[in-house]
Amino acid sequence: MITRFQSPRLLLIGGGAVARTAEVLAQLGFSRPLIVTDAFMVSSSMVDRVVAPLRAAGIEATIFADTVPDPTDTVIEAGVAVLRAGDYDCLIGFGGGSPMDTAKAMAILAAAPPGTHMREFKVPAQANRGALPVVCVPTTAGTGSEATRFTIITDTERDEKMLIAGLGALPTAAIVDYELTFSVPPRTTADTGIDSLTHALEAFVSKLATEESDEYALRAMRLIAPQLRTVYAEPGNAEARAAMMKGATLAGIAFSNASVALVHGMSRPMGAHFHVAHGLSNAMLLPAVTAFSLNAALPRYAEAARAMGVAGRDEGDQSAAAKLVEELQALNRELAVPSPAGYGIGAAQWEGLVPTMARQALASGSPGNNPRVPDAAE
């Protein structure tokens, strides 16, 4: 049997790692970066955390700060215009999943023939070529995008999130520094934290899971699950932030190799149509989708419950798996995750959109990897 395993060439993980950005670029032979980030990172001066070490090494980086949450095809095209107008040899994606995905998609679009529109990358699209290498520096502990071979871009014409997969989206290097996450507010901390837990759990139960991806998924669950409540209540808790950040990256490696499943398949249309933050829509779906899927992979869900510390090592599968669902429900209550209705998405908003959303969820391919594969009606 042949196993495929993909991850960035270089991962630098730990407190203070961002100060070594110039060192990482030098090691890779890059010296003309375009930093891709969002307006908040500039207005809050957070971007200086990466600009300063570059400047100290004699590198004056240009900044493209127009990325938006759930990046759009139009932003990517604007970014590629900036890229083509300059003389850059790498991109630095600095921020949450949105700037990192923007940087990756810019590299992919820039490798396509001039005149290609971002929306021409159909769902799910394969892209193995990037015009420039991408170095990612995450500032949320969530998406794992710094270590995945995916980028997710919204097609603004069709209100559809396009999943683009392939080596073109896999960063060359990632600098993972939990000290960048102290400023993440509690709501985003909870949403991004549940996002990374979802990555680890979905990778672990995925039909494409391998022994290698399992190791990363289990380690991620062991790191993330005990810290979610702490990091929400105590934003300054360094131990909790460090565990969440490392867990998010490991979960990213896990699902980059094993895929995500039904939660993510359903979450993307919710994000595209109702602009729910990605981690929040995952959180809304996670307990119900887990309950729906449980009996199709009981031993796996039970093992996940044990890794998360909510079931004993010797506890039977049925009881352990049941505790997993209870824990996911409790987490949502304690981290104040609203139901869709509580968020303002009531029956009136769903009506008429359900068939489209079901089609979009299934088209992404992720639900096909779920232990129990639903049909559109389910």
8 contacts ligand NAD (rule: CB under 6 A) = no
Q: Which residues inside 251-280 make contact with ligand NAD, applying CB under 6 A?
A: 278-279
The amino acid occupying position 222 is R
180 contacts ligand NAD (rule: CB under 6 A) = yes
Report the nearest approach of ligand NAD to the CB of residue 281 (Å). Answer: 10
38 contacts ligand NAD (rule: CB under 6 A) = yes
Two tokens, residue 158 = 């069709």
Q: 107 near 137, Cβ under 8 Å? A: no
Considering only the stretches 115-123, 177-185, 228-236, 331-339, report the one whose residues sit in contact with ligand NAD under the rule CB under 6 A.
Answer: 177-185
Two tokens, residue 265 = 């398949």
Q: How far apart are CA 14 and CA 52, in angstroms?
A: 18
- Please return the burial class of 308, using the count of CB atoms within 10 Å of its CB with bins 0-12, 13-18 and 19+: buried
# residues near ligand NAD by CB under 6 A: 28
Whether cis (ω within 30° of 0) applies to the bond prior to 53 is: no
Residue 58 backbone class (left: φ over 0; alpha: ψ -120 to 50; beta: rest): left
148 contacts ligand NAD (rule: CB under 6 A) = yes
Q: How far apart are CA 138 and CA 144, in angstroms?
A: 8
152 contacts ligand NAD (rule: CB under 6 A) = yes
Pick from 7, 21, 74, 151 the residue near ligand NAD by CB under 6 A.
151
94 contacts ligand NAD (rule: CB under 6 A) = no
74 contacts ligand NAD (rule: CB under 6 A) = no
Pick from 88, 150, 232, 301 the residue near ligand NAD by CB under 6 A.
150
Alpha helix stretches (DSSP H) within the chain: 21-28, 39-43, 48-56, 73-85, 97-111, 186-205, 211-224, 228-233, 238-258, 262-274, 278-293, 298-308, 317-334, 340-343, 347-350, 354-363
Considering only the stretches 97-105, 117-125, 234-242, 353-361, report the one whose residues sit in contact with ligand NAD under the rule CB under 6 A.
Answer: 97-105
Q: How far is CA 44 from the centre of its chain?
A: 23
Q: Which residues inside 50-69 make contact with ligand NAD, applying CB under 6 A?
A: 69
Report the nearest approach of ligand NAD to the CB of residue 341 (Å). Answer: 22
- Please return the burial class of 158, using the count of CB atoms within 10 Å of its CB with bins 0-12, 13-18 and 19+: middle
The residue (of 264 and 300) whose beta carbon lies closer to ligand NAD is 264
Pick from 97, 247, 287, 367 the residue near ligand NAD by CB under 6 A.
97
142 contacts ligand NAD (rule: CB under 6 A) = yes
Report the nearest approach of ligand NAD to the CB of residue 58 (Å). Answer: 27
The residue (of 161 and 219) whose beta carbon lies closer to ligand NAD is 161
Q: 224 near 248, Cβ under 8 Å? A: yes
143 contacts ligand NAD (rule: CB under 6 A) = yes
The residue (of 184 and 321) whose beta carbon lies closer to ligand NAD is 184
Q: Using CB under 6 A as the criterion, which residues of the chain lie in contact with ligand NAD when the complex forms?
A: 38, 40, 69-71, 95-98, 101, 139-140, 142-145, 148, 150-152, 180-181, 183-184, 188, 192, 278-279
